[in-house]
Structure 1
Amino acid sequence: MLYIGNHTSSSRGYLAMGKQMLANGGNTFAFFTRNPRGGKAKDIDPQDVQAFGQLAEENHFGKLVAHAPYTMNCCTAKENLRDFAREIMADDLRRLEMTPGNYYNFHPGSHVGQGAEVGISKIAEILNEVLTKDQSTIVLLETMSGKGTEVGRNFEELRQIIDKVELKDKLGVCLDTCHVWDGGYDIVNDLDSVFEEFDRIIGLDRLKAIHLNDSMNPLGSHKDRHARIGEGEIGLETLVRVINHPATEGIPFILETPNDDEGWTHEIALLRNEYKQK
């Protein structure tokens, strides 16, 4: 089955997000756990969660992909900002237990001149502080494009983070097609080799979700500018090969393309039409 949806606004609650996704033709979605720029999270209504759970079960939804706010930088040099990141992640993981068994995706962060090695250690330190044996949520490290001082610009850096985390079974990876392309991985001409490299360095068992985006930029630009499906440098043919690849079977595909609901409805229908039932 193809689990596909788009990134939507969480301000309406789980049930409204689920209904909107059904209207868009989707059966999964991503949402920010709070304002993407940070701040206090909205209270969760247990009745809303229960109603969504019934809707999701009736419509065979895939796993949801919650997204941490962009301001959460686990490897910043400023300790007050690291405290902020630590508190947000711990709070988000507690709240996500109201919808157990889903994913929590975050950008590893920017080391801001400290060096990738220091950044990697700081990220792992926070993960070791907030992850618990009892949590049902899997935390996903996102592949990054390598702009500025981002950590996670290649598979090796993500592997180094994983190696330093004690509860490794609570970790996975979300691969962003725009980010890896902008980061220098040629998914257009050699998709199989990219997945083979991912498997060799990280392990395909940790590939839990895909951000399915086209890119405005050429290979290796390190810029991170998303394009609509089929309107960028990656192209529709490659993204169709991604959704049909054996390495991605059964995982959620999240569209983060610059669109509105009408645009996402069109993209979801387009990709469903190109998906080959396995």
Structure 2
Amino acid sequence: MLLISKPPGLKTLALVNQRIAACSKPVITCFLGSEKGLFPDTDNITTTHNLDEATTAAIRLAGGIRVDEGSEITPESIQRERGKLKPNQKYVRGVFSGGTLCYQAQQVLRDAGMPAYSNEPLEKDKHLSASSKSTEHTLLDMGADEFTIGKPHPMVDSSLRVERILSEAQDPTVAVILLDCILGYVASNDPGGEIALAIIDAKKIAKQRGDELTVVVSICGTEIDHQGLDQQVAVLEQAGAIVFKSGFQSAEYAVQLLSGRSN
């Protein structure tokens, strides 16, 4: 059994752990946002810290082998992108279509000593005073109620995300724009294409002031999704994005890109 949750409250988390401790089947948990080591493994509970770890643990528990377990991050790519950035480009701005990958990205940055502000923060002191204005590292959940009341969800209509991507590109302190792209029946027919044009324009905005902007996208889907995984990856890469098939690795890429800089 694999149990994945957005950040639960501590009381709720304790109750859930009591319940699954009594479960007769082995359970893998992934409580996004929780601190490492908060809940140690037991005889029938394996705790994981991110969606990649959870997936790998579940496949192994079922007797399988995860064929894409290795990291897609390469030192060559990190060095290439790092060399393009100016000293004043310090921050990550995430524009996510939903909460799960946004929470995971916040966790990755927090664990690296780069805590991010958000409209749906892991810690209360990192709540944005206004969701319309980013500050320092900011990761937005644009599927939250404030963006979706009376409007289509961003997985269906990317227009608000496009506006925010272009807005973040105007900030000369931004080094990385972090995005997600979700495939499947609940998503638009061309989610990659919708944000690809914004990626191209965002890079143009940065270039006009003499900067380079790194755009990192995590894509969630399979080749049997009607949008086509490979086709969506190709569209995003042609727009100049660095694409990962893992939300964890895309956030980790942003961390590695910025944390090792000497300037």
Range class of TM-score, shorter chain: 0.3 to 0.5
TM-score by length of 2: 0.36
